[in-house]
Every structure is written in structure tokens, then in C-alpha cells.
A and B are shown apart, each in its own frame.
Chain A
Amino acid sequence: MSKVHVQTTINGDQVEFLCVPQQTMLEALRDVLGKLGTKEGCGTGDCGACTIMLDGRLVCSCLMLAAEAEGQELTTIEGIAGPDGLHVLQRKFLEHAALQCGICTPGFIVAAKALLDRNPNPDEGAIRYWLAGNLCRCTGYDKIVRAVQDAAKELAYQA
């Protein structure tokens, strides 16, 4: 099978890799590039565990071909923490115990960051709608919503 050569930018780094045409971006991240932070829950676009940013938009990496990354800019969970440590959202998820098994967490963090980048002061309804494509089987969502609200508050305070 002929392989596809892909040049792309992931978390600000230039990356080159080889993939097979039907390989998804999620598979390339995990199996080719060793970036294991992005998770697979369903593989069908329903759970959001595989959420990444593609050219400024939130997408399910399980429903994207790796070959489509050519020339694009991707952000994965590995790109969320800054040089000084965890992102506020990551800290708030820990403080609020907004995770148990953790499979859904990278997707929630990437999606919540995209929300706060757009809307720094979302109400509870806006948070729940924005995150409707992220499923969590452990926490019951309330702690997640509170962690996002608290992160928004802290970010507003810093700004």
C-alpha cells in the first residue's frame, strides 16, 4: 500500500510523518506520532474523547483522515499546558475532581479551551451546549461544568 507523506504543524512544531490513506488523524497521533493524550472512545464522532483543534476549529480526530493534516495547524491536549505548567482549565479539573477514569478529560479540556477563547464568560447553558459532544461516563458532568466556570473566572481575573 502506498503511503502518504504528510507535513503539518502540531502544537506549534513542524511535523512530518507517513500514513496510509485510510488512517485517521487519531490513529496517526497515537500509533505513528506517539501522542497518546488524545483518546478514542467511540470512533464514530459521538463521544468527543478524540477532540483536537484543526485550523482554529474543534473537530473529532477519529473522523478526519491523517492525510488531511497536510499544511494545516493542529492543537492536541499536549499543546494546552504552557511553559509554566498546567493550563488553568487543567488545574481546575484537578481541583474540582472533574475527572475519574480520565478518558474523556483531554477532549473536554481541548473543547473547553476553545469555548473560553471565543467566549470568556459563558453561562452554564452555553457550557453545556458547547460540550454536548463530549461524553463522560464517570463524573455526571456537574463537576466538569463547575471547573470550566471556575477557570473562566480565574482567566477573567488574570486578564
Chain B
Amino acid sequence: MGEFAYVAPTSVADALDVLREHANNGRRAQMLAGGTDLLVQMRGLDKAPRTIVDVKKIEEANRLDIGSDEIYIGAAIPSAALNENAALKALLPGLIEAADLIGSTQIQGRATLGGNLCNASPAADTTPAMIVNRGVCVIASGGGNRELPVEAFCTGVGVNALADGEFLLGLKFPHPAARTGDAYLRFIPRTEMDIAVAGCGVSVTLDADGRCVDAAVGIGAVAPTPLKVEAAAEALIGTKVDDDALAAAGAACTAAASPITDKRGTVEYRRKVVAVLCRRTGAIARDRALGAS
């Protein structure tokens, strides 16, 4: 006992100092964003002492920038605030849809994209949606910021690519091209407040004739980490994202999945459902892209 501490640094440099000092002394420091995963874990199995480093007072982690080239979303912004931002919702509807699926109104008052990603749950809802929007993690590090594509961030169940002494500052997304649409769907046995049995995000960009010139597909809850499925994207590119193309993309998702059986679903069920989700999500993304033209 006696080794719990709470600090709320107000700058990146101060936060990195705290992390470095703990790493040098072999002590545990852990970042806190909305606490909707961390506090549940601290009250459950993981009661070991540590220093909690609150990321919410750092300006760069709270900044939201919608530029003409790039969109930057601070890692500590609660999803309720993202959902209230009409401009962001219009640009990345699928990502906001995914954030809006997390927990209840109360959970969304605190839950962040950064926490959802860093927690590295296979079923994290926003991760596939960030992947398909070509999200890039901006990581604060002793040697300056470094960047990593979202699909490379989760390295296993509950494990991420952050080294000791690093933390996530925010996420960058290229401004979507004209005639681009994204969407995210998950399957849960209830209508609200549950963890995905499978999830799928799709983004497509169409040309003036409605032919797909670029696509990305991301799946969740069907492998140890959320995955970017290149073969599914290739099945859509060059097509009009019709039923045949969507079926081929869905089959590619089934092939890429390596799920487990648990109380929410069996291996066979998850493989099948992820294909269904891919077809439905792809159709929504296509319709959004057509509407956006």
C-alpha cells in the first residue's frame, strides 16, 4: 500500500518526464483518459499500485482540428463531444457511429478514441472505423512525436505498440476525398450496451460514374486484434460496389478472421456474421459516397 498516486500534467513534456522517471525507477505509471476501461480494471482484477497519469489536462490531447488536408482528434476528447460536432460527423459518419455505440450516455461522457484504442480489446468498436479512415496514431515520445498507422497499433489482446515512456496524443485522418463514404456496424445480441460479436468498418471512394477507386475494410472481434483486410478492399475496387462485389468482400473478411468461441458466439458464427456485416456496411458506405457526390 501507499504507492498509489495521481498526477495531471499540463504539458506533453511534463507527462513524458513523469513516465520516464517511473520507467527509470522500475515503477508503474499508467495513463488515464475517461477511465471507463481503466477504473473497471482497477476495481476488478488489477489492483496493483501505480501512478495514474491523467492525460486530460494536456492541450494537444484535447485539440480537435478539421483542416482541409487533415483531421486531428485529440486522444482525450470524450465521444459525446465528438458526436456533438456536426462538421466532424458529416466528414467521418462511420467513425462517429462507432463511437456512439460505446456504452451509455454516461460512458460516452468520458470514453475516448484514445482509450478505446490503447486498451487494445479485440472488440474495440472505434478501431476498425479508424483503420478504414486511414487513421494514424500520433505518439508522444522522448525523442519527439512518432506516427504509426492505427492497424499497426494493437499488437495482441490488451497489448499495444507504445514503448515505456510513450503515450498517445491524438489521431490523424486524411480529409476524405470527394465521393467518399464510411460506415461501421457491429452485431450484438441486445440493442444497446453490449460488446461486439463481430464488427466491420468500410470506406469507399467512387469516381463520377460510381465506380470504386479506393476502399478500405476493417474488422473487429474476430481476431486477437482488429484487422485491416486488404483482400476485401481489393474485391471492391474497380466495381460499382454491387451485391457481387460486396459478397466477395464479405468472403474475404471471413477468410481473414481467426475468431474464438465464447459466450457471445462460436467461431463458425463469427466468421459468418462478419461477412454479413461487411456486405451491409459496404452498402451504407457506398450510398453515403453516392449521396456525397
Q: Decide if A and B are genuine partners.
A: yes
Contacts A45-B36, A64-B39, A65-B32 hold; do A54 and B4 have CB atoms under 8 A apart? no
A58 within 8 A of B: yes
**B110 contacts which chain A residues (CB < 8 A)?**
57, 59-60, 63-64
User: Which B residues are CB-close (under 8 A) to A106?
Assistant: none
A2 CA / B7 CA spacing, docked (Å): 12
Interface size on B, residues (CB 8 A): 30
* Nearest-Cβ distance from residue B38 to partner chain A, whole angstroms: 9
A24: chain B residues within 8 A (beta carbon)? 39, 43
Contact partners of B80 in chain A: CB under 8 A: 57-58
Instruction: Digitize B28-63: 1 where CB-to-A-CB distance is under 8 Å, 0 elsewhere.
Output: 000010111001101110000000101010000000
A70 to B6 CA separation, bound complex (whole angstroms): 12
Residues of the A chain whose Cβ atoms lie less than 8 Å from the Cβ of B192:
129, 132
A22 on interface, CB distance cutoff 8 Å: yes
With both chains docked as a complex, state the minimum distance between the C-beta of B55 and any C-beta of chain A, in angstroms. 11
Is residue B282 within 8 Å, beta carbon to beta carbon, of the partner chain?
no
Q: Which residue of B lies closest to A56 (CB)?
A: B109
A78 → B minimal CB distance (Å): 18
List the B side residues contacting A65 at CB < 8 Å. Answer: 6, 32, 35, 39, 52
Report, as a range, how many residues of chain A touch the other chain: 20 to 34
Smallest CB–CB gap between B10 and chain A, Å? 11
How near does chain B come to A103, taking the closest CB pair, in angstroms? Answer: 16
Which residues from chain A contact B67 at a C-beta distance below 8 Å?
none
List the B residue with the shortest CB-CB distance to A114. Answer: B105
Tell me if B6 and A57 are in contact (CB < 8 A).
Answer: no
* CB-based contact A132/B105 at 8 Å: yes
* B106 CB–A CB distance under 8 Å: yes
Q: Nearest CB to that of A118 among chain B residues?
A: B84
B1 on interface, CB distance cutoff 8 Å: yes
Residues of A92-150 whose CB lies within 8 A of B: 111, 114, 129-134
The answer to whether the Cβ of A88 comes within 8 Å of any Cβ in the partner chain is no
B78 on the interface (CB 8 Å rule)? yes
A20-41 contacts to B, CB under 8 A, are 20-22, 24
The reply to whether A133 and B104 contact each other, CB–CB distance below 8 Å, is yes
**A51-B105 Cα distance, complex, nearest whole Å:** 10
Q: Chain A residues near B39: list those with CB within 8 A.
A: 24, 45, 62-65
- Chain B residues with CB below 8 A from A57, complex form: 78, 80-81, 109-110
Minimum Cβ distance to chain B for residue A56 (Å): 9
Give B200 Cβ to nearest chain A Cβ, in Å.
23
Interface check B9, CB cutoff 8 A? no
Question: When chains A and B are docked, how far (Å) is the Cα of A63 from the Cα of B4?
Answer: 17
Least Cβ–Cβ distance between A55 and chain B, in angstroms: 9
* Alpha-carbon distance between A114 and B78 when the two chains are bound, in angstroms: 17
Whole-angstrom CA separation of A69 from B40 in the bound complex: 18
Given known contacts A63-B36, A132-B104, A21 and B109 CB-to-CB distance under 8 angstroms:
no
Q: Are B193 and A46 in contact (CB under 8 A)?
A: yes
Also in contact, A63 and B40, with CB within 8 A (given A57-B78, A68-B54):
yes
Q: Which residues of B contact A (CB under 8 A)?
A: 1-2, 4-6, 8, 32, 34-36, 39-40, 42-44, 52, 54, 56, 78, 80-81, 103-107, 109-110, 192-193
